[in-house]
Structure 1
Amino acid sequence: MVSISVRDGRRPQRWAVLAAHTVPLLTLPSGLWRLALAAGVDVGIRPRPVVTLADSLSFVALSLLCEGLALLTLGLVRPWGERVPAWLPLLGGRRVTPFAAIVPAGLGALALAVVWAYAFRAFPDIGTIEFAGAGWHVLLVACYLPLLLWAPLLAAVTWAYFLRRCRY
């Protein structure tokens, strides 16, 4: 394991480090599926959708946004989640107040739980979407199903961060 320098000498728990590193991997399959759709790759949807430039840009933006937000989970187990990296102007080197990380991460976990509960309410039955074959439907489900773990893993890592940073 990489040596982690922390302000108060308490290292993140191993399970929290593993969970934090898992989160970006959970968002990757759905992002790759959207990028394939944006690039015009046949993903088995019938009739084949017409993907405009605006659609492609929104798919790419959503994929980058999701992956970027997922990567922020790493801040809960890495030194930059406790002290702002020195190379950042104005804030570099300053201590991160625990609740400056805990509140957004906790709200993020709650928001993800609400979003995915709504988005997956009828999953894996996709409703009106027709597929060229059952394999394409399975692929879509396999790409999006891991997202259901994002909220609970983020909540667990946030709780571990809270215990590590706020418990004396």
Structure 2
Amino acid sequence: MTAGSFLARLHGRTATGVPRWAVRVAYAISLTVLPSGLWRILSVDLRVPLMDAPTDGRPPPDWFGGEWWYVIGLSAVSETLAFLAVGLVCTWGEVWPRWIPWLRGRRVPILAAVIPAGVGATFNTLLWPYSMIMISLGRRVDGGGDLGLGTHGWQVFVFYASYWPLAAWGPLLGILTVHYYRRRKAAESVGVREDGARSPAVTVSH
């Protein structure tokens, strides 16, 4: 199986008129979330020493809710939300897939994709760059004092390498959302059907 056929099975057929750079951006969005999810699972659930344990024998501080399933669920949901960006470059972002009852085969309204994607892009753009700047300064997101991260040496590098990519999530999604909107509006203006063919011309008889 070639790399192209594997990606086609993973995300479906690329929509008509989508340039290669947009496909790359869509996958890059998924990759911005993956490292932080792996870091949480490895450090919190699997107790890989990515944080320093307290010298009194207590476990490392728990920032994610305590239960192992919560950390896995948080990571899975985050990655799923990021992967939805792939719909902005694929046919299932323009025509509802066959496994969706009542909607299957129908055209996805442009705003039904653009509004959620735009909200997500705005939220993540406001959240992650600011959060990572504050964390990098050793402060809490709310501007409070010591973060108490519990990382030193190589652990600091791994933490920032895992979390700083999140700062690109919102801007990349914003770029892709604007491209999706402009591409579909342009397709509508020239009468291109969702399957990529041009709509038949209308003949007016006199």
CA distance in 2 between counterparts of 1:23 and 1:5 reads 16
1:46–1:129: 8 Å Cα contact kept in structure 2? no
2:38 pairs with 1:18 = no
Matches within 5 A, 1:5-154: 6=15, 10-36=16-42, 37-47=44-54, 48-49=59-60, 54-126=66-138, 127-131=147-151, 133-154=152-173
CA distance in 2 between counterparts of 1:18 and 1:129 reads 33
Q: Larger relative contact order (C-alpha < 8 A, sep ≥ 6)?
A: 1
CA distance in 2 between counterparts of 1:137 and 1:121 reads 14
Q: Which has the larger radius of gyration?
A: 2
Segment of structure 1 superposing worse, 102-111 or 83-92 = 83-92
Q: String of CA shifts for 1:58-104, please: whole Å, max 9, x gaps.
A: 21111011100010000000000000111221211111001100010
Residues paired across the two proteins, number: 164
**How much is the aligned-residue C-alpha RMSD, in angstroms?**
2.2
Q: String of CA shifts for 1:25-83, please: whole Å, max 9, x gaps.
A: 11111000011122222212342416598432221111011100010000000000000
Higher share in helix? 1
Instruction: State TM-score, norm by structure 1.
Output: 0.87
Runs of 4 or more, structure 1, over 3 Å off, are 1-6, 50-55
2:25–2:172: 8 Å Cα contact kept in structure 1? yes
Letter in 1 for 2:162: C
CA distance in 1 between counterparts of 2:14 and 2:41 reads 37
Equivalent pairs: percent with the same residue? 35
CA distance in 1 between counterparts of 2:180 and 2:65 reads 41
Unaligned 5+ residue runs, structure 2?
139-146, 190-206
Segment of structure 1 superposing worse, 121-130 or 78-87 = 121-130
Against the structure 1 CA distance between its residues 5 and 77, is the aligned structure 2 distance closer, same or farther, given a 3 Å change threshold? closer
